[in-house]
């Protein structure tokens, strides 16, 4: 065992699970990367579905953004409750699967309705960020949480930058 693990065990606190922290880091990074990739592409994609009518596309883009945020608002507490009942890891994994399915659906969307369904799925599955933070809190001793949450904050920034 490492020196850090020995100290944590001696103090009665569980050691930081590096694999779990890395998994959550990558999950948050991919969530933010997905958001950062779709935001510049989505307006032109919507515009192509409405015969290049920019004003109409802008209204639809606003509707898509509102639906995405509303799904996060509604499903974040629900995913939190599910993670309390069934565990954090299964909920985060299910969310990752949903995000992947969303982007496949959006890439193959034959109409605006399918694209909208993809944005709704994305909003629901992106609501796992609160579950990811809860997972980090569960597996990290209190004296190490600030450092680990700092790394998770770096995943947010890196996802947008990439």
Q: What is the CA radius of gyration of the chain?
A: 19
What's the pTM?
A: 0.76
Task: Give the architecture-level CATH label for domain 18-161.
Answer: Up-down Bundle (1.20)
Q: pLDDT per position in the chain (162 positions), as tens?
A: 444 444 444 455 556 677 888 888 888 888 888 778 888 888 999 999 999 999 999 999 999 999 999 998 999 889 888 988 998 888 888 888 988 888 899 889 999 999 999 989 988 888 778 888 888 888 888 888 888 888 888 888 888 887
- Ordered DSSP codes for 14-42: PPP-HHHHHHHHHHHHHHHHHHHHHHHHH
pLDDT value of position 161: 83
- 115's tokens: 């694209």
Domain spans in the chain, listed from the N-terminal domain onward: 18-161
CA distance linking residue 74 with residue 130, whole number of Å: 12
Whether 125 contacts 106, CB under 8 Å: no
pLDDT value of position 12: 55
**Directed axis angle between helix 129-139 and helix 54-86, to 10°?**
30
């Amino acid at each position: 065992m490492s020196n850090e693990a020995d100290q944590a065990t001696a103090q009665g606190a569980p050691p930081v699970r590096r694999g779990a922290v890395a998994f959550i880091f990558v999950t948050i990074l991919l969530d933010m990367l997905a958001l950062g990739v779709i935001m510049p592409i989505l307006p032109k994609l919507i515009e192509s579905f409405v015969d290049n009518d920019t004003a109409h596309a802008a209204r639809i883009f606003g509707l898509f953004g509102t639906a995405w945020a509303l799904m996060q608002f509604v499903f974040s507490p629900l995913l939190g409750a599910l993670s309390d009942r069934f565990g954090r890891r299964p909920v985060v994994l299910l969310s990752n699967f949903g995000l992947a399915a969303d982007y496949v659906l959006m890439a193959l969307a034959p109409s605006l309705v399918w694209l909208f369904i993809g944005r709704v799925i994305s909003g629901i599955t992106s609501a796992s960020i609160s579950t990811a933070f809860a997972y980090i809190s569960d597996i990290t001793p209190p004296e190490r949480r600030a450092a680990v949450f700092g790394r998770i904050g770096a995943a947010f920034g890196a996802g947008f930058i990439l």
